Amino acid sequence: MPTDAMSPGGGAPAIRAVGLAKRFGLIRAVDDVTFDLVSGRIYGLLGPNGSGKTTLIRLLAGLTHATAGHAEVLGATMPSRTTLERIGYMTQSDGVYPALSVEENARFFASMYGVSADGAVEESLALVELADRRRSLTGTLSGGQRRRLSLACAVIHRPPVLFLDEPTVGVDPLLRVQFWSYFRSLADGGATIVVSSHVMDEADRCDELLFVRAGKIIARGSSRELRDRAGTTDLEQAFLRFAGDAEAAR
């Protein structure tokens, strides 16, 4: 069963899901999910493709309406347009404009979030090491560079809540390390980060993991806690054990 986590100071959680559900016809993409996520931590949504991770993130980010239940971010029930100013969202696809230059993309998203472009653009591009490619057309960048730009656009407004949907897909190992190091620095600064992944070896970088299967959270805890509870040394084995238990409990 998922456990509730309160913020360290005992305040309201940064993200809250209450009986959250989303159906597409007969398919339960997200099925009665309840949890609280506190600020200053990185949460990993782990599960196979099609388990409901992206739909869950979209529900939390207010990009789709829940069939039942509700999501709260920073105290506001989603979807809330004003809260979107304080949320960063990196989609699974790059979600950047190939016909625009790197800088034009960054400036555009800065304008969408209503932040003053110059400083924010400068800082974000430096952060993802694309400052020297600022004038390059995005369509001419490599896959990894586009992913970096996508991240820069997601954090350009320094959001306290960040949803990252498979941010490291197609990213080379060195860049992946840089990404995680950056996520950690954001969390240390008080941001709440939710990262979805189907790569188990990234799980150790998260403070807490939520195993997702068939739209449900089947287990929650740190990587070590989950392995200990499952009685395995391997996180993938732990996932399979919890999945088996969930199946048996049906």
Partner 1 sequence: MSRRRTIALFRRVAQEIRRDRPSIALLFIAPIVITGLVTFILREGQTPQVDAVIVNMAATPGSVYTSALTTALEAEGATVTTAPDVVTAESMVADHTATVVIVLPAGLGQRGAPTITVITNGMDPSGEGSQVAAASKALVSVASSITGITPPTIVHETVYGTPSSDPITNFAPALVAFFAYFFVYILTGVSFLRERTGGTLERLMATPVTRGEIVGGYTLGFGVFAMIQVALIMTWVLGTIRVPSIGPIPEFSVGLGISVAGNPLLAYVVVILAAMGAVSLGIFLSTFARTELQVIQFIPIVIVPQFLLSGVLFPVATLPELLQPLSFVMPLSYAVDGLRQVFIRGADLSVTALQVDLLVLTGFAILFAVVASRTIRRDVA
CB of 103 to partner 1, least distance (A): 11
Per CB under 8 A, 141 contacts partner 1: no
Q: 91 vs 223, which CB is nearer to partner 1? A: 91
Residues between 42 and 71 that touch partner 1 (CB under 8 A): 61-65
Per CB under 8 A, 111 contacts partner 1: yes
Per CB under 8 A, 169 contacts partner 1: no
Q: 148 vs 227, which CB is nearer to partner 1? A: 148
Place of tokens 């980060």: 193
Per CB under 8 A, 202 contacts partner 1: no
From residue 118, alpha-carbon distances to 44, 109, 152 in Å are 32, 12, 14
Q: 60 vs 209, which CB is nearer to partner 1? A: 60
Q: How many CA atoms lie within 13 A of 178 on its CB side?
A: 15
CB of 101 to partner 1, least distance (A): 9
From residue 141, alpha-carbon distances to 27, 96, 117 in Å are 38, 11, 22
Which residue in 1, 10, 82, 135 binds partner 1 (CB under 8 A)? 82
CB of 6 to partner 1, least distance (A): 27
CB of 164 to partner 1, least distance (A): 12
Q: 156 vs 212, which CB is nearer to partner 1? A: 156
Q: 153 vs 235, which CB is nearer to partner 1? A: 153
Which residue in 91, 168, 192, 223 binds partner 1 (CB under 8 A)? 91
What does the binding site for partner 1 look like in residue numbers (CB under 8 A)?
Answer: 61-65, 79, 81-82, 84-85, 87, 89, 91-100, 104, 107-109, 111-114, 137, 153-154
